Structure 1
Amino acid sequence: MTPGPEAECAASCVPSITSSGHRVCLLTADGVRIEAAHTPRRARSEADPAACADTPAIVLAHGFTGALERPALRRAAAAFSQHADVITFSFRGHGGSGGRSTVGDREVEDLAAAVRWARALGHRRVATVGFSMGGSVVLRHAALHGQGEHGERTDAHPDTVVAVSAPARWYYRGTAAMRRLHWVITRPTGRLVSRLGLRTRIHPDDWDPVPLSPTEAAGLIAPTPLLVVHGDRDPYFPLDHPRMLMSAADPATAELWIERGFGHAENAAAPELLGRIGEWITAHTPA
């Protein structure tokens, strides 16, 4: 019998060192095993761990149906490694991680585990970058673990936040792409298609309670620097979504980029855009 994701991730709990970094299995606060990888900045060697303290880390949160090994996330990690050490991971229910996807709710715990790992490696400065579903997760994570007026700073706090192609509100069905996605998430047949065809295992239960919305979270992030990036050709979320996020955020610490010709999330992000985001993170992540 082929081992399932839980067994695969449990086996990877013994850290493995490779020429490009190392991989581990992280345990979230609610007991889910998450596969994760650390890639050092191109300008330094993994054999020089003391450099972590002076090198920022970028933690990447992929979109729904993404995973650590997907080409788009690996391409993004390679681009960001020009600017910082990079940590990638698979959300619960995705790739080799355990559990089942809650489509942006409990995934905050997965991101928190990855940020804690970055700090355990010695990084004093940690930025989070999320794509699509991951974008909603980095916003909620910053609100819950950050240093805003209504949130206490924790050991999982981010120093800088970037949300790419993120939704502003839950249950949005205004585009054909989102109507198809809701069918996948809410119907038994759709969840079967997701598990077999997309290697994404979705939890069948509805949210209870409904989590803090991305827009509500955006209003709780300041003074942590926030960048919202969105494409004018996004087939999932039209431009009212990033504008809603910005209307809730503190204009003194938040910035909006509307990218011409850009589609959706990590699959459509060109190297030039990823490079500019990396430069923005370097400039806005406090020492």
Structure 2
Amino acid sequence: MCLLTSDGVRIEAAHTPRRARNEAASGACADAPAIVLAHGFTGALDRPALRRAAAAFSQHADVITFSFRGHGGSGGRSTVGDREVEDLAAAVRWARALGHRRVATVGFSMGGSVVLRHAALHGPGAHDERTGAHPDTAVSVSAPARWYYRGTASMRRVHWAITRPGGRLVARFGLGTRIHPEDWDPVPLSPTEAVPLIAPTPLLLVHGDRDPYFPLDHPRMLSAAADPATAELWIEPGFGHAENAAGPELLGRIGEWIAARIPA
């Protein structure tokens, strides 16, 4: 499926039916919930880690996967979390066009920051829900709390890939990711600035204590900024970073958390 964002970028997307009804129908069920997955930087809808996550979440709901701009078969170039909010909004609108009245968003790393900003910019009170782009609940896994973080070796490598011509060439030809060469102007709302705007939408923050990209001050900053009445923080022992490190047990618990908030 090809989606078109509000700023004219073509985005590849796919629909995975909920496993419990696969034998009965292949299309979307009008009253079934949907989970929209937002991958991390250099990911795509056909990468094994995202496909594994989609299979796990399909135990609980229909699943929409897509590739962010500049990734996989999507058009455009990556803005590393800025304009990607429009990509996620297009995927959520598609889920609702398929008949899903309740939609959860789940993002990993860069996708986790996009989920936070999307929920703030398209949530109740911040956006007209008639557009269909709003989430009913949001989950952010392994997300940064602030921009321009270079405090780990992993993030210094990411910044080299984003900011240097040679790094962008490596990202394009080695990782299949096309990065926009221009700096942000203006700098987008940071994840920590976005989090207070998400309530009353339920929010789950998930982070590993062995994350090589973002240490634990990031999820703690996000949690401190969130509404305690509607947000939860899980610090996962032994968990690394994003979809590549997320195992069946963690994905299953996240799926159960979502199912309790947007039941079938």
TM bucket, shorter chain: over 0.9
2:31 aligned with 1:54: yes
- Give unmatched runs, 5+ long, in structure 1: 1-23
User: Aligned partners of 1:28 and 1:219: how far apart in 2?
Assistant: 26
User: Aligned partners of 2:66 and 2:137: how far apart in 1?
Assistant: 18
User: Aligned partners of 2:28 and 2:215: how far apart in 1?
Assistant: 41
Deviation at 1:151, TM superposition (A): 4.5
Deviation at 1:285, TM superposition (A): 2.2
User: Aligned partners of 1:62 and 1:229: how far apart in 2?
Assistant: 15
Tell me the amino acid that sits aligned with residue 209 of structure 1.
P
Conservation of the 8 A alpha-carbon contact between 2:17 and 2:28? no
User: Aligned partners of 2:166 and 2:219: how far apart in 1?
Assistant: 32
2:237 paired residue among 250, 260, 268: 260
1:98 paired residue among 72, 75, 81: 75
Q: Identity over aligned residues, as a percent?
A: 87
Deviation at 1:219, TM superposition (A): 0.6
2:45 aligned with 1:68: yes
Deviation at 1:69, TM superposition (A): 0.5
User: Aligned partners of 2:145 and 2:237: how far apart in 1?
Assistant: 20
1:80 corresponding residue in structure 2: 57
User: Aligned partners of 1:152 and 1:166: how far apart in 2?
Assistant: 26
2:13 aligned with 1:36: yes
How big is the alpha-carbon RMSD for the aligned residues of Structure 1 and Structure 2? Answer: 1.4
Q: Give me the TM-score of the superposition, normalised by structure 1.
A: 0.89
User: Aligned partners of 1:235 and 1:229: how far apart in 2?
Assistant: 15
1:16 corresponding residue in structure 2: none
Aligned 1:224-239 pairs, distance under 5 A: 224-239=201-216
User: Aligned partners of 1:132 and 1:46: how far apart in 2?
Assistant: 34
2:120 aligned with 1:157: no
Kindly tell me the number of residue pairs found equivalent between the two proteins.
263
| Deviation per residue, 1:102-139 (Å, 9 max, x gap) | 00000000000000000000000000000000000000
Tell me the amino acid that sits aligned with residue 77 of structure 2.
R
1:107 corresponding residue in structure 2: 84
1:186 paired residue among 151, 163, 170: 163
User: Aligned partners of 2:59 and 2:206: how far apart in 1?
Assistant: 20
User: Aligned partners of 2:20 and 2:4: how far apart in 1?
Assistant: 30
Q: Give me the TM-score of the superposition, normalised by structure 2.
A: 0.97
1:54 aligned counterpart, secondary structure: coil
Conservation of the 8 A alpha-carbon contact between 2:146 and 2:218? yes
2:230 aligned with 1:272: no
User: Aligned partners of 1:69 and 1:56: how far apart in 2?
Assistant: 22
Deviation at 1:245, TM superposition (A): 0.6
- Give unmatched runs, 5+ long, in structure 2: none
2:190 corresponding residue in structure 1: 213
2:228 corresponding residue in structure 1: 251
| Deviation per residue, 1:127-164 (Å, 9 max, x gap) | 0000000000000001111114x454341000000000
Deviation at 1:45, TM superposition (A): 3.1
Deviation at 1:284, TM superposition (A): 1.5
User: Aligned partners of 1:47 and 1:286: how far apart in 2?
Assistant: 20
1:229 aligned counterpart, secondary structure: strand
Conservation of the 8 A alpha-carbon contact between 2:104 and 2:258? yes
1:205 aligned counterpart, secondary structure: coil
Conservation of the 8 A alpha-carbon contact between 2:42 and 2:176? yes
User: Aligned partners of 2:141 and 2:231: how far apart in 1?
Assistant: 13
